[in-house]
Amino acid sequence: MSKIRTDSLFETPQIEEVASGHIIRVAFESGVDSEFDYLVPDELWPVGTGQRVEVPFGRKDKLQIGFCIKADISHRETQRKFKLKKVARAIDKKPLLDEQLMELARWISSYYVCPLGQVLGAMVPAAVKRGAGVKTERHIYLSTTAEDFEQTLKQLRGRKQKQIVRFLQERAALNSRTALELQGALAAVGCTNAPIKKLAQQGIIEITQKTILKSLPAIPEGMTIRTEIVSLNDDQRKALTAINSGTDSGRFGVTVLHGVTDSGKTELYIRAIERALQKKKAAIVMLPEIALTAQTVQRFNARFDNIAVMHSGLTAVQRNSQWQKIKAGQANVVIGARSAVFAPVAQLGLIVVDEEHEPSYKQDTVPRYNGRDAAIKRAQLANAHCILGSATPSLETLSNCSSKKHFNLVRLPKRVMDLPMPQMKLVDLRLQYSAQKGVTLISEPLEEHLREVLAKKEQAILLLNRRGYSNFVFCPACKHILHCRNCDVTLTFHKSKLPQVRRTQTLMGRHMDYGYALCHYCGAQTLVPQTCPLCGKGMAMIGLGSQRLEEELKDKFPQARVSRVDSDSMARADYYRLLQDFSLGRIDILAGTQMLAKGLHFPNVTLVGIISADTCLYLPDFRSNERTFQLISQVAGRAGRSVKKGTVFVQTFLADQPAIRFALAGDFEGFVKEELKHRKSCNLPPFWRLAVVGMRDRNFEKLEAASKTMRERIDSIIGQENLKAVVRGPMPATISRIQRFHRMQIIVQAPQAQTMMKLFSRLRSGPAVRPAVKVTTDMDPVNLL
Ligand code: ADP
Ligand code: ZN
């Protein structure tokens, strides 16, 4: 637990002793891992848990906003009865978070080792906190009666005051019902605020305030979507029975829905939600951000009347109005990305997490929570049911199915309508390269097939998990590689249309266009030098990137319509437009990064090519096999989503790699068995828990010293508490420097979550590590770079 302090160290003497009154406990968003008690003046009472207040803080009593995390604390409970500072202002009229979300916040704070105030801050969208789109309208009316009117008028001195009073009287603005809008009245009379103030002080007029929230529709309109009700197949029916018995029980439970792409999972989510709504309960559906396309949202919108959406594509005003709609109980289905797990739904009956294996559910800034695991926790707190759906469930989830009694696994092994799975073709690039002359991204077999597809007026998706043009800029003569000045990574070459950058040559001797070298970690850009800064010879590019893929396609298929999708090439709106164009057949080949692998439905796509299945495998991460398997399976699901037969090409240099072999055979069970063997032998998740303590500083000596101290602390707690855990490090992180910060990490492995909790709760309650460096704790990390 974090420390509880009363902020009384720097009190000035004017603060009186307190014998009575309400005390609340406040946590700040700023990141202090302590909580502070304050006295609430009677006129501000009641203040509830989950409500924000403004309070004086620190030596200078600077006003700060914090969340009330406990209301009405007894005087005995607060450690210092005296000299409590007073709450200055209540920000919200009502609590933003209910008791259930507060409890979820406490869990996240303790499990993910993050100050409670920071968690609370992250739970409420910024747009809500600053009231985006909220307008205050003021209205005025006369508080005198008609009889007293003349008398009142006589008393008045100011000419403007008289004018206003007349104006109100003429319009019979005598009570709050017929009040006039203030600004309009002022404009009509032609006066400033001052006379109004005077009149109000004398009690002649009254001013009322009304807050109005602009509400903007957040759901795209005008897309046609098929809405006919299908009848479920046998597998679906069995699965739905299992889910419904969970929802009906009114008790917490998890159904893991393992179904291949197109097996009808989404249809089941919809049915399960219908059931929950019948029981007067609400539902939350979580999707990876990128899958939150207009297509998906429309599909739910076509089946439910009151849905709200929460995703990054909304404007601030939309975000606030959607949140308020949920809070007011006007939406009973919420669809959103990771943060939808915090939707202020009151009567929660069901949470669906689609693509539960997705690493993007893990937030990579504080609080570093996993949206899926928070969803499970929330379902538990709400006595609700949780569905985790995936074509390739994570090993953690599978292992929960066999070890936890409230987890239940159901399968949808077939595509609906018995569509065949696509044909999988392996292209061994080692053989290709020895036979071919130059280095190309599209192998001969893939090129040939692509030609056939184009000839038949069908469509193709090509996937390359790397942005830019090439990921190394180097000198063939002296082997010098361009590195980022600030980070320990190589620079990626990006082509640009800007003419100010000089020409360089590729390995193949072709002239490059203009471009710049970009660091994908800190965003630093440099011009690509024409000649090597060390030896003066010409620079060259190697490695692959989506820009280069696009170029090669345009070279090889000049008549085809090719579009590239990656985070460089587009904003979200353009992305949707492009998908729309693709579905209307205006684009033949879509080439891009993993943005393309998720949740899209294009019946005319008969070819999917994975340009390099190896990009994940080179990463030093224990989940790289799992990611590779998931990527290939996911992408395979994009092909042949109709009666037309689909083909998937998987290009690789590592044709013997088990993850690739199993993925090609569509053998999920085989892959899991093999991978679990490896994880078990190394005490890795899902068998043991993993946490990474990351430390960074610009000064390496300081960092080294602090890291050593951190290790000693960890060891001493483990010793004192007699915990079973394995600790490794401190060692340099895989990317040992980012933005000029050197990075070290300590990896902790423990068989039990409890052990981790014990270790980290003691670690955080101790004093800060010296010398002071930046410390982060990542529990259940999904990325070890
Ligand atoms: P998944 O979420 O597993 O990819 P979906 O639920 O999106 O699968 O189903 C794929 C397509 O099949 C959708 O267009 C859906 O409307 C349709 N579908 C789902 N279940 C059935 C069914 N029982 N009969 C006919 N079509 C179905
Ligand atoms: Zn950098």
Q: Which ligand is nearest to the CA of 482?
A: 2
Task: Please state, in angstroms and rounded to a whole number, the distance separating the CA atoms of residues 634 and 616.
Answer: 14
Residue 265 beta carbon below 6 angstroms from any ligand 1 atom: yes
Mutate to test the pocket of ligand 1, among 225, 261, 266 (most ligand atoms within 8 A of CB): 266
Q: Ligand 1 pocket, 419 CB below 6 A?
A: no
Looking at all shown ligands, the one closest to residue 518's CA atom is 2
Q: Please state, in angstroms and rounded to a whole number, the distance separating the CA atoms of residues 205 and 171.
A: 14
226, 267, 335, 410: residue to mutate for ligand 1 pocket, most atoms within 8 A of CB: 267
pLDDT (0 to 100) of residue 642? 57
Nearest Cα to Cα of residue 710 among 657, 658, 747: 747
Least Cα distance to 191 among 165, 172, 222 occurs for 165
pLDDT digits (tens, 9 = 90+) for 509-557: 334 455 677 777 777 777 777 777 778 777 777 667 777 888 889 989 9
The CB of 35 under 6 Å from ligand 1? The reply is no
Q: Which of 232, 285, 298, 416 to mutate to test the pocket of ligand 1 (most atoms within 8 A of CB)?
A: 416
pLDDT (0 to 100) of residue 7: 44
Distance (angstroms) between ligand 2 centre and the Cα of 473 equals 15
Rounded to the nearest angstrom, the distance between the alpha carbon of 247 and the centre of ligand 1 is 22
Report pLDDT for 154: 77
**How far is it, in rounded angstroms, from Cα 424 to Cα 426?**
7
Cβ(440) to ligand 1 under 6 A?
A: no
Q: Give the number of other Cβ atoms within 10 Å of residue 404's Cβ.
A: 11
Residue 704: its H or E element: helix 700-721
Ligand 1 close to Cβ of residue 233 (< 6 A): yes
140 within 8 A of 187, measured Cβ to Cβ: no
Give Cβ neighbours of residue 165 (< 8 Å, ≥ 6 apart). 142, 149, 152, 153, 156, 199, 204, 205
The values of phi and psi at residue 511, to 5°, are -75, 135
Q: Is 261 in the pocket of ligand 1 (CB under 6 A)?
A: yes
Q: How far is the CA of 659 from the centre of ligand 2 (A)?
A: 31
Question: Ligand 1 in contact with 37 (CB < 6 A)?
Answer: no
- Give the CA distances from residue 688 to residues 368, 394, 427, 682, 780, in Å, rounded to whole numbers and listed in that order: 19, 15, 36, 9, 10
Give the pLDDT score at 346: 93
Nearest CA to ligand 1 atom 16: 267
Ligand nearest to the CA of 642: 1
Alpha helix segments (H runs only) across 202-308: 234-249, 265-278, 294-303
User: What is the model's pLDDT at position 503?
Assistant: 41
Ligand nearest to the CA of 411: 1
SS (H, E, C) 614-675: CCCCCCCCCCHHHHHHHHHHHHHCCCCCCCCCCEEEEEECCCCCHHHHHHHHCCHHHHHHHH
Burial of 14 by CB count in 10 Å (0-12 exposed, 13-18 middle, 19+ buried)?
Answer: exposed
> What is the 768 CA–ligand 2 centroid distance (Å)?
28
* Ligand 2 geometric centre to CA of 490 (Å): 8
Residue 719 φ then ψ, to 5°: -65, -50
In whole angstroms, how far apart are CA 647 and each of 239, 420, 778? 29, 11, 40
How far, in Å, from the CA of 524 to the mean position of ligand 2? Answer: 5
235 lines ligand 1 (CB under 6 A): no
Please list the rounded mean pLDDT of every run of 10 residues in the chain (785 residues).
Answer: 45 47 90 87 90 92 93 76 82 93 96 95 94 83 72 78 80 68 81 82 81 69 64 93 92 94 90 95 91 78 91 88 93 94 96 94 94 98 96 95 94 80 84 64 90 93 76 73 78 62 38 65 74 77 76 90 76 74 90 68 83 71 86 72 76 86 90 91 90 94 95 95 92 85 92 94 90 93 81
Residue 490 in contact with ligand 1 by CB distance below 6 A: no
Residue 741: beta bridge partners? 738
DSSP character string of 346-370: SSEEEEEEETTT-GGGB-SSSS--B
Query: Ligand 1: which residue has its CA nearest to atom 24?
Result: 230
Q: What is the per-residue pLDDT for 756?
A: 95
Ligand 1 atom closest to the Cα of residue 269 is: 6
Q: How many residues does the chain have?
A: 785
How many whole angstroms from 261 Cα to the centroid of ligand 1?
Answer: 9
CA distances from 231 to 45, 247, 302, 413, 643 (A): 56, 21, 17, 17, 19
Q: How far is CA 384 from CA 153, 405, 690, in A?
A: 64, 16, 28
> What does the CA dihedral 721, 727, 729, 734 come to, rounded to 10 degrees?
-130
Whether the CB of 225 sits within 6 Å of ligand 1? no
Distance CA 560, CA 554 (A): 7
What is the spatial distance between Cα 385 and Cα 761, in angstroms, rounded to a whole number?
Answer: 30
Cβ proximity of 537 and 531 under 8 Å? yes
Task: State the closest ligand 1 atom to the C-alpha of 263, by its place in the atom list counted from 1.
Answer: 3
> Residue 517 corresponds to which amino acid?
A
Q: Which residue, judged by its Cα, is nearest atom 17 of ligand 1?
A: 264
pLDDT at position 415, please? Answer: 80
Ligand 1 lined by 634 (C-beta under 6 Å): no
Closest CA to 691 of 611, 761, 643: 761
The encoded tokens of residue 63 equal 């006003």
Burial pattern 324-338, b for ≥16 Cβ within 10 A else e, equals: bbbbeeebbbbbbbb
What single string gives the DSSP state of each residue in 38-104? EEEPGGG----TT-EEEEEETTTTEEEEEEEEEEEE-TTTSS--SSPPBP-EE--SS-SS-HHHHHH
Q: From atom 20 of ligand 1, which residue's Cα is the shortest distance away? A: 264
Please give the Cα distance from 605 to 181 (Å, whole number): 58
Q: Could you tell me the distance, in angstroms and rounded to a whole number, from the CA of residue 353 to the centre of ligand 1?
A: 17
Ligand 1 atom having least distance to the Cα of 599: 4
Residues sharing a CB contact under 8 Å with residue 378, sequence separation 6 or more, in sequence order: 100, 104, 341, 348, 351, 384
How high is the pLDDT of residue 296? 80
Ligand 1, atom 19, residue with closest C-alpha = 264
Distances (CA, A) of 190 to 164, 182, 187, 203, 527: 9, 12, 5, 22, 60
Per the listing, tokens 């607060």 go with 78
> Tell me, what's the pLDDT at 385?
97
Ligand 1, residue 270: give the atom nearest the CA.
6
264 lines ligand 1 (CB under 6 A): yes
Measure the CA–CA gap between 273 and 335, rounded to whole angstroms.
Answer: 12
State in Å: Cα 489 to ligand 2 middle: 7
Going by CA atoms, what residue is nearest to atom 6 of ligand 1? 264
Please tell me if the CB atom of residue 267 comes closer than 6 angstroms to any atom of ligand 1: yes
pLDDT of residue 113: 94
User: Is the shortest distance between the CB of 633 and ligand 1 below 6 Å?
Assistant: no
Does the beta carbon of 236 sit less than 6 angstroms from any atom of ligand 1?
yes
Contacts of 702 (CB under 8 A, 6+ apart): 771, 773
Count CB atoms within 10 A of the CB of residue 306: 15
Mutate to test the pocket of ligand 1, among 262, 356, 583 (most ligand atoms within 8 A of CB): 262
User: How many angstroms separate the alpha carbon of residue 415 from the centre of ligand 1?
Assistant: 8
Measure the CA–CA gap between 60 and 39, rounded to whole angstroms: 18
Distances (CA, A) of 562 to 8, 171, 590: 66, 66, 6
User: How far does residue 185's CA lie from ligand 2's centre (Å)?
Assistant: 58
Task: Tell me the ligand closest to 267's alpha carbon.
Answer: 1
Ligand 1 within 6 A of CB of 259:
yes
- CB of 253 shorter than 6 A to ligand 1: no
By C-alpha distance, which of 203, 151, 145 is closest to 172? 145
Cβ–ligand 1 contact at 263 (below 6 Å): yes
- pLDDT value of position 265: 93
Output the DSSP codes for 445-510.
HHHHHHHHHHHTT-EEEEE-S--SSBSEEE-TTT--B-B-SSSSSBPEEEE-S-TTSPP-B-TTSP
Backbone angles phi, psi at 681, to 5 degrees: -65, -25
Ligand 2 centroid from CA 365, angstroms: 18
Q: Residue 673 burial (CB < 10 Å; 0-12/13-18/19+)?
A: exposed
For ligand 1, the distance from its centroid to the CA atom of residue 338, given in whole angstroms, is: 24
